Amino acid sequence: MKSGRIDLHVHTTASDGTLSPAGVVREALSRGVTILAIADHDITDGVRPAEEAARSTDITVIPAVELSVGSGEREIHVLGYFLDVTTPALADALADLRDARDERNDRILLRLKELGAPLDPARVQEIAGTGSVGRPHIAKALVAAAHVSSEGEAFGRYLARGKPAYVGRQRLGLSQAAGLIREARGIPVLAHPAKIGPRTAIESTLAQGMHGLEVFHSDHGQADVDLLLAIARQKNLMVTGGTDSHGPHSDRALAVGAVDIPQWVGEQVLQHAPPWWRERP
């Protein structure tokens, strides 16, 4: 395997990223990234364009997705790696999640109208571009319409959990998400686990079908990395890592490959690649 930077958690305009799949690949090339995973929220449409853009380069693109799952009152994210994106069950489930998100957005816009902060749905979609509309895009639209002065105020007044325009979203169960990823011949990995809570909470979550752990992440400090690496080694889990980059024009601009991830992480991730992926044309 060629040495280079590794980023196994990147979003594109297929969901809520601000770079197209080809744009992500171009940035990855400029940053010396050689292993890249496109992991958009609830959609895999960015994978094939990224693979095409990376053809004839030194970049290996791993097909992935990031699913939001429900666990009590918490939202937990699960990454699926080495997915066969043509799997019908996966495509159907992701389409259902996107339909539910669209319905949720409609309800949010209705509540905003009732609260005296109406938005043009076409303008919200324009802000989202080709990707799925989410609350960050609605927040930007609220700023553009001068209903609030900042996106932070948009969430604080309207969109955050418990605020008057907040609407809950349909979410998969944790075991359901893991099963869906396995059905698509992929590997389920617990995303940014330091956000979940103490070690006991992380370990109980892992027990519900996870085969890997995102140890390296832009929100993880060294103490988090040390703890998560110990858990992964104890439980013989695949170790992954990534920036969670949403592109240079996002609320938290972070370049692809900006997190230092050891070379061995990329090597062992590729060693875990399923036969179908290794044998693809």
Q: Where are the domains of the chain?
A: 5-93+171-278, 103-159
Query: Among 126-130, 170-174, 218-222, which range has the highest average pLDDT?
Result: 218-222
- How far apart CA 79 and CA 188 sit, in angstroms, is 6
CA proximity to 10, closest of 265, 246, 212: 246
Question: What's the longest Cα–Cα distance across the chain?
Answer: 57
Task: Tell me if the domain spanning 5-93+171-278 has CATH number 3.90.45.10.
Answer: no
Q: In this model, does residue 269 exceed pLDDT 60?
A: yes
- How far apart CA 75 and CA 56 sit, in angstroms, is 39
Q: In this model, does residue 70 exceed pLDDT 80?
A: no
How many CB atoms are located within 10 Å of the residue 46 CB?
A: 29
Vertex 46: Cα angle to 242 and 138 (nearest 5): 85
Q: Give the pLDDT confidence score for residue 71 in this predicted structure.
A: 60
Global pTM reads 0.87
The backbone torsions φ and ψ at residue 10, rounded to the nearest 5 degrees and listed phi first, read -135, 140
Query: Among 84-93, 129-138, 229-238, which range has the highest average pLDDT?
Result: 229-238
Q: Are 139 and 155 in contact (CB under 8 A)?
A: yes
Q: In this model, does residue 251 exceed pLDDT 90?
A: no
